[in-house]
Structure 1
Amino acid sequence: MSPAGGPRLVAMDTNTTTPTPSASTSGLLADKVAFITGAGRGIGAAAARLFAREGARVVLAARTESQLKAVTEEIRTAGGTAEYVLCDLADPVSVRAAVDRTVELYGRLDVAFNNGATGQAPGPMDQFPEADFDRVLAVNLKGPWLAMSAEIAAIRATAGRGAIVNTSSVGSLMGNPWLPVYGAAKRAVNSLTASAAVTYGPEGIRVNAIAPGATLTEMIDEWEANSPGIVDQLTAQTPLGRAATPHEIAEAAAWLLSDRASYVTGAVLSVDGGSRA
């Protein structure tokens, strides 16, 4: 299933023009400090905008500075509080430095959204180059592990309690002939999520995952370019009859990170329009 979405039926997050409140007194994430990976585009960028609108002070992390800068400036223009930091999820030093920078900027860490990922060329696993296998696992599995380890340490040392959400994929919940290595990495993320929830729940740190279905992002644009018609195929399997916008996926992450989900941990929440119903 989709790592994140399909051809750009919608050019951008449809809610990006909603004003961001400058006073963070009543939002879903009011007064929380949020760290977001993969925040330069797609679901991560939508999450950064949404979290800021909901009252959080956000730190955006990704590898492409031009994208991070554009989203950060957009949030600030709308009245939100945002900073960005360059981060390579395959580099342990980079990941730790990004989380540490969040604490330096805002004094603590309350919530984290580990959304950054890399895709794979579609095709059967026996035709997938070993170097590409290593890259997909380094970013999509080792990256969230590195991030969670740093985030848990930061939450424990500052806020004391908090929440983490990892981005999985609906393609992790079944056999995935299109994206077998991507799906395997995301299924492993589900296991890490459950293990972290059990391990750190006694400390008041909740850990959940979301499993998006087809979502309108650049990643699925690339899939469509390599496999023409795949988005129509995925949409035909979706009871709601369409792909999601990045904002719709971000809404699920925001709820799981908020205090309104205070008794939810260890869950993998499908946000897939009913495709796995």
Structure 2
Amino acid sequence: MPSRPTLCRHGDIISKRAPTRDANPKKNNPTRDANPQKNNPTRDANPQKNNPTRDANPQKDDPMRGKVALVTGGGSGIGRAAAVLFAHRGAGVAVADLDLGGGAETVAMIEAGGGRGRFFATDVTDEAGVEELVAATVGEFGKLDCAFNNAGITHPSRPFHELTLDQWNEMIVVNLTSVFLCMKHEIIQMLAQGDGGAIVNTASGAAIVPAPGQPHYTAAKRGVLGLTTHAADELNNQGIRVNSVCPGMIDTPMVASWRESSPEMAEAVIQHMPGRRLGQPEEVAEAAVWLCSDEARWVSGNTMVVDGGMICR
């Protein structure tokens, strides 16, 4: 059964074989070797090497093994895909979302794959709740190594002059202020641990090329890029890397909602997409998880666009 949700309130040298015989007669028998396991192509001295998903060094094939990841907006879409991938790569995963059913389902998917996850119902716009989320993650898993700040919303498209202040404020609070709050408390925890960490923030292709009818969304996501580069610069010598991903049009519930509210505009955008298709959440998750891994240890302050090349057009 899935875990019950927790509510957060507020070197070896090998020489070429010589054509002459050797003092060791076993070497002259091409079907024999000092190590008989070498003669069985399906066996090896290290049995883990025969499993393409495993290796003698688990960090090679499971680069997140032993790490702890926090994913906000993990109840669906990109966040869910990232949470599942983090777990598949060996990390313990704290899944945060306001959607109780979605968060629990994500954890069930993690556990079905043999991973470890825990859902925390959290409002990422509430600082006390975010602080408690980080504390609960550490309480459950013992530490925090990386975070994917992915929670966000969208609104129906409308002309700039028709945008209301309430719509502006909601967009900025959810898509920008929440990222600041999460980063703040994640950084506090990582600095306290003293062994660095990695943070990835979800921005958007709209942060580079404005989204039609979405001035407040464009502004919020552009702000996420600012937070990312500032933190990356400030924390550069403290072992904490900070990067962002900029997804294009991805097949998520949030994009589906926008397509329903603005069908003509959405269809026009999709017609200009590479291959005329939406990206998949897993395609963005791969980028985010890689940026959090030690394989990206020399990458910080980077904005990785994952949109199939759409903004190049």
Fold similarity call, TM over 0.5: yes
Structure 1 gaps, min length 5: 1-19
1:89 alignment partner AA: V
Measure how far apart 1:234 and its partner are. Answer: 2.3
Higher RCO (Cα < 8 Å, 6 or more apart)? 1
> 2:58 matched to 1:35?
no
Match of 1:256 in 2: 291
- Per-residue CA deviation, residues 189-215 of structure 1 (Å, 9 max, x unaligned), is 000000000001110100000000010
The partner residue of 1:167 within 185, 202, 205 is 202
Using the size of structure 1 for normalisation, the TM-score is 0.89
2:211 alignment partner AA: N
- Per-residue CA deviation, residues 94-141 of structure 1 (Å, 9 max, x unaligned), is 111111111111111000000001112211222112112111111111
The partner residue of 1:202 within 216, 219, 237 is 237
> 2:98 matched to 1:63?
yes
CA contact (8 A) 2:145 2:198 kept: yes
Match of 1:266 in 2: 301
- Per-residue CA deviation, residues 231-258 of structure 1 (Å, 9 max, x unaligned), is 4322322234321111111001011111
Match of 2:190 in 1: 155
The partner residue of 2:213 within 163, 175, 178 is 178
CA contact (8 A) 2:209 2:311 kept: no
> 2:122 matched to 1:87?
yes
2:107 alignment partner AA: T
Q: Distance in 2 between matches of 1:178 and 1:232?
A: 14
User: Once superposed, which parts of structure 1, at least 4 consecutive aligned residues long, lie more than 4 Å away?
Assistant: none
CA contact (8 A) 2:125 2:178 kept: yes
CA contact (8 A) 1:95 1:146 kept: yes
CA contact (8 A) 1:165 1:256 kept: yes
Residues paired across the two proteins, number: 257
Q: Which has the larger radius of gyration?
A: 2
Worse-matched range after superposition: 116-125 or 210-219: 116-125
Q: Distance in 2 between matches of 1:95 and 1:49?
A: 21
Q: Distance in 2 between matches of 1:236 and 1:177?
A: 14
Specify the SS of the correspondent of 2:157.
Answer: coil
Match of 1:3 in 2: none
Match of 2:25 in 1: none
Match of 1:191 in 2: 226
Q: Distance in 1 between matches of 2:194 and 2:151?
A: 23
What value does the CA root-mean-square deviation take over the aligned residues? 1.7
The partner residue of 1:144 within 167, 179, 184 is 179
Using the size of structure 2 for normalisation, the TM-score is 0.79
- Per-residue CA deviation, residues 169-225 of structure 1 (Å, 9 max, x unaligned), is 001112333211011000000000000000011101000000000100111111111
Q: Distance in 2 between matches of 1:224 and 1:237?
A: 15
Identity across matched positions, percent? 37
